[in-house]
Amino acid sequence: MEIRIIGGSHAAIACATRAREEYPDARIVIYEKNKNIGFIAQSIPLYLSGNTNFLKMSSYTTVSELENLGILVRTQFSVTDIDMTNKTFKVVDLVENSESEDRYDKLILAMGSYPSLPLVQGEFREKLFIIKNYVDAERIKRFMRTSRSVIIIGGGAIGVEIAQLMNNAKIETTLIHASDNILNRYLDQEVAEDVQKTLALRGIDIVTNSVVTDIKEETIENTNIHEGNV
């Protein structure tokens, strides 16, 4: 049996290992357009804080570990077209810039999630960062070397961690959150309020009960970070 998995997310890896258990004789191939698989976005704050083991901690598995299970992993490959009738698809090698075709008996789509930015208007993406993958982490690291102010949209776990890192780096930090308290999905109200007061005492400007409805270039005076899915 030919099993193909598009995407290198956590779900993709789980599907691949489970498929190997269920179909020990199947040929399983994962296609991922990025260099890394199973990237853990929650590890980005570790990288920004200077953790030297970031690459080891940013994924819970490696290509070699999967290939030891008989699962072929093709990173930096992009699937461009799927023919559901004939069970084939086209794939582009992003390094060699070459196209080929592959076939499948079972196809799994597990590309993971990525924040949608419908509120963003204007060409200023160099000022807007997503907390999602390794490339994002590198861009934010460079930004921290020269920035003086930042706005963080989202007071979840990663948003709060990033706010603290920016504040520690002497960057003027504003955190915008839609609910009454930050970390409302993680902590009881009393504890969340204590954390919020502590951050405010450290100089982080926290704006709650506020929803960002529009982002335009002419209104942006600070660089913005939009919290990725946690």
Domains annotated for the chain, with CATH where assigned, are 2-109 (3.50.50.60), 120-226 (3.50.50.60)
Check residue 52 and give its pLDDT: 63
Q: DSSP states of 182-221 as a string? A: TTTTTS-HHHHHHHHHHHHHTT-EEE-S-----EEGGG--
Q: What pLDDT band is residue 98 in, cutting at 50, 70 and 90?
A: very high
Among residues 150, 192, 193, which one has the least CA distance to residue 172? 150
Tokens of 52: 């030297």
**For the whole prediction, is pTM greater than 0.85?**
no
Amino acid 223: pLDDT = 43
CA–CA distance, 71 with 41 (Å, rounded to integer):
24
Whether 104 shows a pLDDT value over 50: the answer reads yes
Give the C-alpha separation, 54 to 152, whole Å. Answer: 22
**Do 28 and 20 meet the contact criterion of CB atoms below 8 Å apart?**
yes
CB 1 within 8 A of CB 23: yes
Q: Could you read off the pLDDT of 130-158 as tens digits, one per residue?
A: 888 778 888 899 999 998 999 999 999 99
* Confidence tier at 230 by pLDDT (50, 70, 90): very low
Q: What is the pLDDT of residue 190?
A: 94
Q: Tens of pLDDT along 177-229? A: 999 999 999 999 999 999 999 999 999 999 999 988 777 765 444 444 444 43
Give dist(CA 205, CA 114) in Å, integer: 27
